[in-house]
Every structure is written in C-alpha cells, then in structure tokens.
Chain A
Amino acid sequence: MPRTSRNAAKKHPRKGKSAESAHPKRPAESLPASALSKSQLLDLYRYLKLNRMIEERLSALYRQGKVQGGLYSSKGQEAISVGSAYALATQDVLAPMIRNLGAMLVRGVNPVEFFLQYMQKEGSPCKGRDTSLHFGGIDRGFVPPISHLGTLIPVLSGVALAGRMQGKNLVALTYIGDGATSTGDFHEGLSLASVRRLPLVVLIENNRWAYSTPVSAQSLLLDLADKARAYGIPQGVVDGNDVLAVHEATSRAADLARRGQGPVLLEAKTMRMRGHSEHDDAWYVPEEERRFWEKRDPILLYEKHLLGTGVAIKDELSRIESACAAQIDADLAIAEAAPFPRPESCVEDIYAPEQDASEGLAEEAPRAARRS
C-alpha cells in the first residue's frame, strides 16, 4: 500500500488528545496531483453535491413524516463514498453501507430510487419491503447490506472468490464503520480473504463514532488499518475528507488487489457530522470536535481545490449545483406521486418461481465452472 499516505497519518499525535489528533493535517492546496481530466474532476464534484443535497431533502421528508424509521446521514463523509467508488472499474463490485449513498450514485443509481425507497413506495427498488440503502444487485455492480454490521465482508470475499473463478478480473470493495470493525464477521471475512489472497478492498470509514461510542472504546489501535497486520495484508490510511486522496488510495488498493496482492485494508479518517440517525442530535460529541471538522467539510475543501487550481470557475460549480437541484426536484415529484405498494405483495417473492430441478443444469453447469 502507499507508504506515503500511511506515514502521513502516522505522523499524527496520539488519538483522544484533541479533536484534530487523528486527522492528517494537509492543507487543501496540496491535494495530490491527479490524473483525472477536468470533466472527471467536475463529475466528482457533481456526485458530492448530489449526495449532500439528496440527503438534505431526505431529512426534510423525515421531518414531514414521509420517511419513517431510520435515516442515516453521510454528511462530512461524502468524499469517501464518491472518491472510492469512482476509482473502480466497470466490472468491479462494491457493497455500500448505510452511509454510502454517494457510492451508489457513482454506480448509477438515480436519485428517484432513493426517494422511492425511503418513502416506501411501490416502485422502489425493494418494493417497500426493506429500508434505506438496502438495495442493489450484482447486475448493477453493487450488493446491498443487511443491518447486521460486518456481514458484507465475508459476502464480498465470496464475490471476489467467484469473480476470480470466473476470470472476471474484478475487485470487490466494501465499507465498514470504525465500530463494525469489532464484529466477528470482520475477522472471519478477512481471515478467509487473506489466505486466499482475494481481490477484496475493505475501506474502513473511521468517522470517530459508532452511535455514541468513540473509537477509543472500540479498539486500542491508533489506526484501525493496523488490524491488517493480524492478517498479513497491505494497509493504508487516507484523509477521508479529501476526495482526490481517497480516489488515489482506492485506485492503488484496487490495483494491488487485482494483481493478487490483496485483500487490502484501507482506513479513511473522517467525522460523522450528524447524529447516528435522524432522531439523534449527537449531544455526546464534544463541541470543539464538531467545530474542528466543520472546517474540514469535504465539499468545501474540494471546491477550494477546484477554484484554487483553476480547474473550474465559480460559475461552473454553481451551474452544477443548479442542475443537481433541478434533478432532485423532478425526481422527488415522481416519488411523491408514486403509489404505495399493494399490501399483499409483502408475502410474495420469498422463493424462486416454481422450478424443475432437472431443467437447465446442462447449460448452467459448464458456465459456472469456467475458470480463468
């Protein structure tokens, strides 16, 4: 893994000392030189904005009672979702957690799907059955989580394993919170993935909190990426509020994984800027910590970078923002007008339609067994 980004984080003082301590101090101007074209750089900006603006709208819908149950914000962490997903190749598979709306946008989800899903409408990806970002499909390049934390790591190991068997040259990437690195599945998934050298990237989103629990109550490590040593796999630490740094670190991690040197454990340092869920005002987060990170808002930082390096002028960014707003308005109107699901539909689709076990075997088997 990139020693540079790793060392950058190592230079930092012990955690728990101050709000800044765990954060790599790097001024916005020194964002890594990037091979991305101008249109790609603006693409990233658009995804970041869209991510933030969709979530703001969902939050308003929650207050209106149109979204019920859990609503989880990724405010302050958008650069991780967007930068990492943008680094993947088309054939790669990712698995978002509940704060990775931006990664799903990059994978091609339309805003209307989030609105339909959160508003529990009939045409939603889960037909009103499941909540939040719990939707996807291998055919779309992303696998949805269940609520039980950690479960995606073994599952994505299986995706990586099968991808290799099928000669697809794919990398599987999934996210995990700082808190969820304590689960048994985190360990079991990485154990299996490491001994098979599977093309898997696990990106820890260390946003300093797991509900009300600080990282220090989760692990004695300064860097959660150091958990990689238990598996003998490459690791890296990256500034999670710097979209270009996340993009670069993920590209390198994916590269390593694709070349058979995975799995890779990457840690992005960031901060959860809102409560655990919409109902939680996060009173337990120290005010100075919140204020420190407010200044490190990933979208503001990126705007500064784009303007400061002359990639874009203010007008271009405003036009992108207006286009996002227009799209959200239109999509929300569609979702609002959509019907709720048929009540009886909740007992449908539990199993595959009537099957004849003797049929289809002849064609299916050789394809499944094909190897690289």
Chain B
Amino acid sequence: MGEPITYLEAIRQGLWEEMERDERVFMLGEDIGVYGGAFKVTKGFLEKFGQDRIIDTPIAESGIVGAAIGASLMGMRPVAEMQFIDFIACAFNQITNFAAKSRWRYGAGVPIVIRGPSGGGVRGGPFHSQNPEMYYVHTPGLKVVAPGTTYDAKGLIKAAIRDEDPVIYLEHKYLYRLPRIKEALPEEDYVVPIGKAALRREGKDISMITYGAMQLHCMDAAETLDKEGVSSEVLDLRTLLPLDAEAIEATTKKTGKVLIVHEDTRTGGIAGEITALINERAFEFLDGPVTRVTSPDAPVPYSAALEDYFLPNSTKVLQAARGLLSY
C-alpha cells in the first residue's frame, strides 16, 4: 500500500499503467495532451507516451468516438475523453449505433472506452453537470460503469480498457479531489470486475442501493441510523449495465426494505429498472414499497440555492429511509 491518493489520481494511475502494460492502448480527446486535460487527468501523459499515443483532437466528439471505433476494429484499444461528459451527446450516434451494434451485427467487438467527468455539485449549470447514464444503459451492446470510490476508480478503468466491448466510464467530478475518499491502493495490479456490485456496509433492516457520489450520502445516513439502532446495508452498484441482479436480489431478500438513491433524474432513472427487477426476483420478500431518492425531473440548475435543493443529500436519504422503515 502506498500513500492515500485521490479519486482523480486513481483514474490517472489506472490509465497510465494500462498504457505502459499494453501498447495498443492510446488516448484521444480535446486538450488532453499539452494541457493534460481540463481536469488534469492526463497530466504528464504526452511527455511520457508521446504524440502518437496521446492525441489532441479538434472539437469533434463524433469524430473522436468514430475514430476510436475504427482504431478498435484494427486491434487498438482507444480511450476517448469527453472534456465534460455532457458533450457525449454529440457522439450519440457513433456510440449507440456504430459501437453498440457491431458485435451483434457482424461479430466485430468494439473495445473502446469513453470516459469523462459527470455529475453535479460544482455549480456547473445544466451543460456541465449532467448524468447521462440512462441514454446508454438503454442501449444493448454497451457497458456503463460509474465508480464511487478511489479503489474502484482505478480498478474499473483498467477493467474497462481490457474489456472486449464498448464501455462508458463515468467519473464523478465532485469526487475528483474530495479529501474524504482518498485511499491508499494496493501496489500490485488489480481490476474491479465489470458487472459486480459491492457491499459497502452490511445490515439487516434496510438496503440502500446506489452508485457514484450518492453512496457518500447513503453512508452518512446509514451512520446516523446506526446510532438509532437501525442497521443498514449499502450496495454500491459500480456497474449500471449490466446490472448485478444477484446482488440486488440478495440484499432485497435480506432486508425486505429497499431504498434506491441516484443523482440522475427520476423518470427513466435506473431506480425504475431496479424496482422492476426486484418485482421479478424478490417481490414476496418485500416488506414495504421500493422507494427512491433522486434528482427531480428537471435540468441541473446553476445557482447554489437551486442546485442544493435539486440534488439528493443525506437528509433526504434519511427522511426516505425513516419513512420506509416505519411502513
């Protein structure tokens, strides 16, 4: 174990080690080379790996992803950066139609990674704070991961790069340099398997299912409940597509009370999907309605006064948990 590092540094290390390990890995994106990325995730990469493997591109997200797809067909392992994940919208067609359907159509895997900063809490306003996961979760052929811890940030970027299919890797920008989640990581190479959730906290009275930055609020709420004699289980999904149905089923059967917490907006958010999954697999174990805490159905607002109201927080989680517990 080394020194505790940030979530951002963990992503950086994961990318760095994969580039050292496998010369097919290369990166492309806007301002990733000379500047080292808008958030400095790729700082020092140009100097180490050179212009052929660290490619500063024009402002052309569809071009970036399309080129990544083509290179992957040639046996390369491209990692494309979206400066903010909001701009992934400009590459929607390449991702959902070209990348996602190639294997199914004619057997060609498209092992690309598309990564970028997502999420709110930094006063970025409606175009620098989005959580676009569900557009992609709705697309068979893609994989979508969203690490919420420093350990997972590194393990999942490595797994994503080694994966044979297109992976959308959502980094939460609020977590990038958050001191609270600094962590000392193993010296040796490791991956976090895609498709596997992690139990952050074991309990028997209520299950909180979450991912990304929201697990912090769940952990805080669980801590408070613990002092009141309520034992909470916190399940961090880590991967949104494919969902870890077994883990969801297991925790539901264990506690019978499920609270789903996500930063993404409500309608069409993954809570709906998880609820359906629970109905299919563990309905008779439920001891109350599956409940959700999410952002409301609106764009992410800019003003602190609005954004603080908009985003889920531990108070909202606690309130919902108490409601469910007393059902």
Query: In the bound complex, what is the Cα–Cα distance between A163 and B60 (angstroms)?
Result: 30
Q: B72-80, B123-131, B217-225, B235-243: which one contacts chain A?
A: B123-131
Q: Are B124 and A180 in contact, CB atoms less than 8 angstroms apart?
A: no
Query: B35 at the A/B interface (Cβ < 8 Å)?
Result: yes
Q: Mark A163-192, 1 if CB is under 8 A from B, else 0.
A: 000000000000000011011110000000
Nearest chain A CB to B135 CB, angstrom units:
15
Contact residue among B124, B297, B298, B303 (Cβ-Cβ distance under 8 Å from A128): B303
Query: How many residues in A have their beta carbons less than 8 Å from beta carbons of B?
Result: 40
Contact residue among B31, B56, B59, B62 (Cβ-Cβ distance under 8 Å from A180): B59
Q: A15-23, A213-221, A247-255: which one contacts chain B?
A: A213-221
Q: Do A284 and B35 form a contact, CB below 8 Å, given A69-B122, A129-B126, A130-B125?
A: yes
Contact residue among B34, B89, B296, B299 (Cβ-Cβ distance under 8 Å from A148): B89
**Residues of chain B contacted by A345 (CB below 8 angstroms):** 306
Query: In the bound complex, what is the Cα–Cα distance between A183 and B298 (angstroms)?
Result: 27
Q: Are B87 and A148 in contact, CB atoms less than 8 angstroms apart?
A: yes
Q: Are A211 and B306 in contact, CB atoms less than 8 angstroms apart?
A: no
Q: Are A126 and B302 in contact, CB atoms less than 8 angstroms apart?
A: yes
B273-327 contacts to A (CB < 8 Å): 296-299, 301-310
Q: Are A217 and B56 in contact, CB atoms less than 8 angstroms apart?
A: yes
Q: Are B59 and A130 in contact, CB atoms less than 8 angstroms apart?
A: no
Q: Do A347 and B30 form a contact, CB below 8 Å, given A183-B90, A218-B58?
A: no
Q: From B306, which residue of chain A is reached at the shortest CB distance?
A: A346
Q: Are A120 and B303 in contact, CB atoms less than 8 angstroms apart?
A: yes
Q: A194-202, A260-268, A318-326, A336-344: which one contacts chain B?
A: A336-344
Query: A68 at the A/B interface (Cβ < 8 Å)?
Result: yes
Q: Are A184 and B60 in contact, CB atoms less than 8 angstroms apart?
A: yes
Query: B38 at the A/B interface (Cβ < 8 Å)?
Result: yes
**Residues of chain A contacted by B310 (CB below 8 angstroms):** 346-347
**Residues of chain B contacted by A340 (CB below 8 angstroms):** 303-305
Q: Are B301 and A128 in contact, CB atoms less than 8 angstroms apart?
A: yes
Q: Are A129 and B59 in contact, CB atoms less than 8 angstroms apart?
A: no
Q: Do A128 and B302 form a contact, CB below 8 Å, given A183-B90, A211-B35, A346-B309?
A: yes
Q: Are B306 and A129 in contact, CB atoms less than 8 angstroms apart?
A: yes
Q: Do A341 and B59 form a contact, CB below 8 Å, given A211-B35, A212-B31, A284-B34?
A: no
Contact residue among B90, B126, B296, B304 (Cβ-Cβ distance under 8 Å from A68): B304
Query: A350 at the A/B interface (Cβ < 8 Å)?
Result: yes
**Residues of chain A contacted by B86 (CB below 8 angstroms):** 147-148
Query: In the bound complex, what is the Cα–Cα distance between A25 and B87 (angstroms)?
Result: 38
A131-159 contacts to B (CB < 8 Å): 131-132, 134, 146-150
**Residues of chain B contacted by A346 (CB below 8 angstroms):** 296, 298, 301, 303, 306-307, 309-310
Q: Do A213 and B90 form a contact, CB below 8 Å, given A184-B60, A347-B298?
A: no
Query: A32 at the A/B interface (Cβ < 8 Å)?
Result: no
Q: Are A129 and B31 in contact, CB atoms less than 8 angstroms apart?
A: no
Query: In the bound complex, what is the Cα–Cα distance between A184 and B59 (angstroms)?
Result: 9
Query: In the bound complex, what is the Cα–Cα distance between A184 and B94 (angstroms)?
Result: 12
**Residues of chain B contacted by A350 (CB below 8 angstroms):** 297-298
Size band of the interface chain B makes with A: 35 or more
Contact residue among B34, B297, B298, B302 (Cβ-Cβ distance under 8 Å from A212): B34
Q: Are A184 and B298 in contact, CB atoms less than 8 angstroms apart?
A: no
Query: A210 at the A/B interface (Cβ < 8 Å)?
Result: yes
Q: Are A343 and B59 in contact, CB atoms less than 8 angstroms apart?
A: no
Query: A108 at the A/B interface (Cβ < 8 Å)?
Result: no
Query: A232 at the A/B interface (Cβ < 8 Å)?
Result: no
Q: Mark A65-92, 1 if CB is under 8 A from B, else 0.
A: 0001110000000000000000000000
Q: Are B299 and A129 in contact, CB atoms less than 8 angstroms apart?
A: yes
Q: Are A130 and B90 in contact, CB atoms less than 8 angstroms apart?
A: no
**Residues of chain A contacted by B56 (CB below 8 angstroms):** 213, 217
Nearest chain A CB to B80 CB, angstrom units:
15
**Residues of chain B contacted by A70 (CB below 8 angstroms):** 124-125, 128
Q: Are A148 and B309 in contact, CB atoms less than 8 angstroms apart?
A: no
**Residues of chain B contacted by A185 (CB below 8 angstroms):** 90
Q: From A121, which residue of chain B is reached at the shortest CB distance?
A: B303
**Residues of chain B contacted by A218 (CB below 8 angstroms):** 58-59
Q: From A131, which residue of chain B is reached at the shortest CB distance?
A: B125
Q: Are A129 and B302 in contact, CB atoms less than 8 angstroms apart?
A: yes
Query: In the bound complex, what is the Cα–Cα distance between A331 and B299 (angstroms)?
Result: 29
Q: From B302, which residue of chain A is reached at the shortest CB distance?
A: A131
**Residues of chain B contacted by A210 (CB below 8 angstroms):** 30, 59
Query: In the bound complex, what is the Cα–Cα distance between A346 and B306 (angstroms)?
Result: 6
Q: From B90, which residue of chain A is reached at the shortest CB distance?
A: A148
Q: Are B128 and A69 in contact, CB atoms less than 8 angstroms apart?
A: yes
Q: From A215, which residue of chain B is reached at the shortest CB distance?
A: B58
Q: Are B302 and A148 in contact, CB atoms less than 8 angstroms apart?
A: no
Q: Are B298 and A68 in contact, CB atoms less than 8 angstroms apart?
A: no
A328-372 contacts to B (CB < 8 Å): 340-347, 350
Q: Do A183 and B30 form a contact, CB below 8 Å, given A69-B128, A120-B305, A347-B298?
A: no
Query: In the bound complex, what is the Cα–Cα distance between A120 and B308 (angstroms)?
Result: 13
Q: Are B303 and A347 in contact, CB atoms less than 8 angstroms apart?
A: no
Q: Are A212 and B35 in contact, CB atoms less than 8 angstroms apart?
A: yes
Q: Do A179 and B58 form a contact, CB below 8 Å, given A211-B35, A212-B34, A347-B297?
A: yes
Query: In the bound complex, what is the Cα–Cα distance between A149 and B63 (angstroms)?
Result: 14
Q: Do A129 and B301 form a contact, CB below 8 Å, given A148-B90, A149-B59?
A: yes
Can you report 28 residue pairs joining A to B where beta carbons are below 8 Å apart? A70-B124, A120-B306, A121-B303, A126-B302, A128-B301, A129-B306, A130-B301, A131-B124, A131-B125, A131-B126, A131-B302, A147-B86, A147-B87, A147-B125, A148-B86, A148-B90, A179-B59, A210-B30, A211-B31, A211-B35, A212-B34, A217-B56, A217-B58, A284-B34, A340-B303, A346-B296, A346-B298, A347-B297
Besides the known contacts A69-B128, A213-B35, A346-B310, 4 further A-B residue pairs in the complex with CB atoms under 8 A apart: A129-B303, A183-B59, A218-B59, A346-B296
Binding site for A on B (CB under 8 A): 30-31, 34-35, 38, 56, 58-60, 62-63, 83-84, 86-87, 89-90, 122-128, 296-299, 301-310
Q: Can you list the 7 inter-chain pairs with the closest CB atoms, starting with the nearest?
A: A128-B303, A343-B309, A147-B127, A120-B303, A182-B58, A212-B35, A131-B125
